[in-house]
Structure 1
Amino acid sequence: MTVIDIHTHMVNEEWLDMLLKHSDGKYAVGDVPGGHKAVYKGGTAFMTLTDGMFDYEGRIRAMDAAGVDVSVISLTCPNVFWGGSAVSLRAAQIVNDDMAAAQRRYPDRVRFFASVPWQYPEEAVGELDRACRQGAVGVMVLANIDGASLTDPRFAEVWNEIDRRELPVLVHPASPPGLEEMDLDRFHLVWSIGFTFDTTLALSRMIMDGFFDRYPNLKIIGGHAGGYLPFVVTRLDKGFQSFESCREKIARPPSSYLSQIYVDSIVYDARTLHATLDIMGADNVLYGTDFPHKNGKMEEIIELVDALPQHQSAKIFGANADRIFDLS
């Protein structure tokens, strides 16, 4: 059985240097408890840096130890959504070139999601084409693009191109707008609550805005089990039944769109994984780990998925990814 990890990250020093130099002070690196460094937005540490994020040889060793065959790697937040057009495009090129080089070095083990400067659609479409020619098998986007919703009309050109290419898109959380007002800097609630809220809001808005009718070829993958989407979709359905405004863009219940949405298995608990499977279906759950973040343990998620009936675990570990990605 091939095990394919579709939610796993890498960064590089050049990208990090650009982030700190060109984000106009929005992002900084500082200490966090435990002796680690983290990327801060304002006073909130939202992305802890680990050695594994910079070490491809170490990644392959960790994959071997865990029993993971293929990693579909991506950048993490804040991606390249923080500079002017030239800076953001250059940051995307740096990341995509680095990941393409890793794919060439480990052709049987590594694939990658392209990062593109979504806030500059013309540059984003051009970089998407270039990254795909280098071997990108999908696209990464954050659940908000520097505070803007993914359904904002300014991004339509990018979505049209992704839809035309029928590429999988990993929707990954970022620090949600209103971070400071929600007091998410304490207790690392930006990670546990803020990120999952950000993903839930993005996916729910896409459903309610008719995204899956306008872009029928989309293969959206919601990170961290789609946030709370599996657990609030019945509330979306109730809103659709009860309020005219919920029927502004769609003519069928929100839950009917779940077949067009994939989620990963990063849930940490068997009860939550079973609930996710009950709502989303085994055909729409993919193995993901968040490695090498501090919370991202490949072995833990393998153990969770391996405890499922074999007809479900086989789909999650690799069969579903084989179906929606071109990993040849």
Structure 2
Amino acid sequence: MTIVDVHTHMLSEAFLDALAAGSGGKYRVGRVPAGDRAIFTRDTAFVTLTQGMFDYELRVAAMDSAGVDMAIVSLTCPNVFWGDVAASTAAAELINDDMAAAQTAYPDRIRFLATIPWQYPDRAVQELERACARGAVGVMVLANIDGVSLTDPRFAPVWDEIDRRGLPVLVHPTSPIGEYQLDISRYHLVWSVGFTFDTTLALSRMIMDGFFDRYRNLKIIGGHAGGYLPFVISRLDAGFRSFESCRAAIDRLPSTYLEQIYVDSIVYSPEALAMTLEVMGPENVLYGSDYPHKNGKMEEIIEIVGAAPGFAHSGIMSGNAEKIFRL
């Protein structure tokens, strides 16, 4: 069976250099107590770096071992949402060019999602056009853009262009707003709880804000099974029925918008995937691994998907991705 991995990451040492030089001290590369390098924001290590993030040859070998046919790679957090217009744009260009070169080197194995400087909408649209010309098959965005919600009006020109092109967008978490007040730096709760909360809030806000009524061509992919969205969607429906403020921007139940939202399969138990499939529908779930993060084990997710009902396998593994990414 063909397998397409829609949630998988790559970096470069040049990007880390640009991040350290251009983020004004907000981000740094250091080491966690176990000795691994990591990207820190203040004292919080929220991206642990691994060798596989920098080596496409190693990546393809790992794909071969796991039986994954194609990887749609993207940059991870903090993306390029940290510098002035020149630094952020240059970092986006660097990553897009690096991924485009990998796609050329491995035309049957690699595709990529565009990295764009969302906080500078005019430049973001320009870089999106350039990245698509170089072969990008979609766009990656974090669940908040340096603390600003994705539905903020300032990003409308970017969403307009993405919608016009009908591009899939991976909504990937980062450290949520208020991380220090939430006290999630200990026990790596920023990863287990903070990231999934960040995605849940972003997708819920999109629904409640009428985002999917305005952008009919969008194909949003919520990372890590959409966070808690499959669990909380019934509560959003209950709020819609109960509170006038929940009906301020939409006139139908929040759950009716799920047909416009895709999620990946990055859960860690068959039970969690079963609920995701039941709520989202098997046609809206895509295989993703989070490789090469330390938690990103391609074989583990393949095994979990293998425990799902047989009729869903081909769609999750590749069919749904082939459709929305036009592979």
Same-fold call, TM cutoff 0.5: yes
What does 1:1-328 correspond to in 2, within 5 Å?
1-327=1-327
- Report the CA distance between 1:43 and its aligned residue: 1.1
**TM-score, normalising length from structure 2?**
0.99
RMSD (Å), alpha carbons: 0.6
Aligned residue type for 1:250 = I
- Report the CA distance between 1:326 and its aligned residue: 2.1
- Report the CA distance between 1:177 and its aligned residue: 1.0
CA contact (8 A) 2:16 2:29 kept: no
Name the SS for the 2:326 alignment partner: coil
CA contact (8 A) 2:273 2:308 kept: no
How far apart in 2 are the matches of 1:255 and 1:212? 12
CA contact (8 A) 2:7 2:223 kept: yes
Name the SS for the 2:170 alignment partner: strand
- Report the CA distance between 1:2 and its aligned residue: 1.2
Aligned residue type for 1:321 = A
Aligned residue type for 1:259 = E
- Matched pairs, number: 327
Name the SS for the 2:303 alignment partner: helix
Aligned residue type for 1:312 = A
Name the SS for the 1:25 alignment partner: coil
List alignment gaps of at least 5 residues for structure 2: none
* Cα-to-partner distance string for 1:296-323 (whole Å, 9 max, x where unaligned): 0000001111222321011100000011
CA contact (8 A) 2:40 2:46 kept: yes
How far apart in 1 are the matches of 2:224 and 2:146? 20
How far apart in 1 are the matches of 2:219 and 2:233? 18
**TM-score, normalising length from structure 1?**
0.99
- Report the CA distance between 1:172 and its aligned residue: 0.1
- Identity among equivalent pairs (%): 68
- Report the CA distance between 1:31 and its aligned residue: 1.4
